[in-house]
């Protein structure tokens, strides 16, 4: 708790609101420390496992978890430590990488819609359809009139899923540029993690400011309907 509010209340973006990332300190822990979080994590993982059992048994509602964040923001770690609570039989993890030629032959949401979870299932997106208003904008892959209209299209897409019963949980993992540098260095220094470091990561780091500007408009504006923005 901080200021009498739960961590969820402190970090939740109200549907329909806008968030300026400059107002958020990426190093703020709200009283939580990694060294003492093991007990909380274990309790949370146990609760998630129980909830998944109910979701699977009922077989009526899909749950879509979207993890968005810059390189080294912690998407893989979140999946490993938190989502590891789930029975793999009822979970799919979809990492959205550079589109394949087949995917490029279709509209940009074609590959995304195929990977949304079915009833009773949990789907986890490691990166997501938001890349199509981030990377394409930063690298000038498509013109502004194309990526700018995708905001409404993505909101409409999520509204369709929500009104059909899908619970959508979106998490934007926010770290500082210095923290990213430290995490990159830690990967290089650890032989077991060195495989995770790519020279392309450093090239992307050169676009840090452009990614932050793009994230202000794509990742922190919640749809006007209740469920997608939770």
CATH class of the region 7-175+214-218: alpha beta
Is 173 a residue whose pLDDT tops 80? yes
Please give the share of the chain, as a percent, with pLDDT higher than 70.
93
Sheet containing strand 91-95, edge to edge, reads: 91-95, 122-126, 63-69, 167-173
CB atoms within 10 A of CB 90: 18
Is 24 a residue whose pLDDT tops 90? no
Alpha-carbon span 150 to 133, nearest angstrom = 7
**Which secondary-structure segment (H or E) carries 28?**
none
- Rounded to 5 degrees, what are φ and ψ at 33? -125, 140
Is 227 a residue whose pLDDT tops 90? no
Residue 53's alpha-carbon distances to 50, 173, 224, in angstroms, are 5, 27, 31
For residue 176, give both structure tokens.
Answer: 């500082």
- Yes or no: say if 83 and 91 are a contact pair by the CB < 8 Å rule: yes
Predicted local distance difference test score (pLDDT) of residue 150: 95
Predicted local distance difference test score (pLDDT) of residue 217: 67
Higher pLDDT, 179 or 16: 179
Alpha-carbon span 27 to 174, nearest angstrom = 9
The string of pLDDT tens digits covering residues 32-75 is 887 788 888 899 999 999 999 999 999 999 999 999 999 999 99
Q: What is the pTM of this model?
A: 0.89
């Amino acid at each position: 708790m901080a200021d009498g509010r739960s961590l969820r209340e402190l970090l939740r973006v109200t549907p329909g609101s806008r968030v300026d990332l400059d107002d958020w300190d990426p190093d703020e822990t709200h009283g939580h420390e990694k060294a003492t979080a093991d007990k909380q994590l274990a309790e949370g993982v146990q609760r998630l496992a129980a909830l998944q059992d109910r979701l699977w048994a009922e077989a009526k509602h899909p749950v879509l978890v979207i993890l968005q964040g810059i390189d080294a923001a912690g998407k893989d770690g979140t999946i490993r430590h938190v989502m590891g609570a789930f029975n793999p039989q009822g979970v799919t993890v979809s990492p959205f990488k550079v589109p394949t030629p087949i995917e490029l032959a279709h509209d940009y949401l074609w590959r995304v819609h195929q990977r949304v979870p079915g009833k009773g299932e949990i789907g986890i997106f490691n990166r997501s359809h938001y890349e199509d208003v981030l990377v394409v904008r930063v690298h000038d892959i498509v013109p502004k009139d194309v990526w700018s209209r995708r905001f409404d299209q993505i909101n409409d897409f999520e509204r369709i899923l929500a009104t059909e019963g899908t619970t959508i949980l979106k998490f934007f993992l926010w770290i500082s540029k210095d923290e990213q540098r430290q995490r990159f260095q830690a990967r290089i220094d650890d032989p077991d993690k060195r495989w995770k470091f790519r020279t392309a990561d450093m090239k992307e780091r050169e676009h840090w400011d452009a990614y932050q500007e793009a994230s202000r408009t794509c990742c922190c504006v919640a749809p006007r309907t209740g469920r997608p923005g939770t």
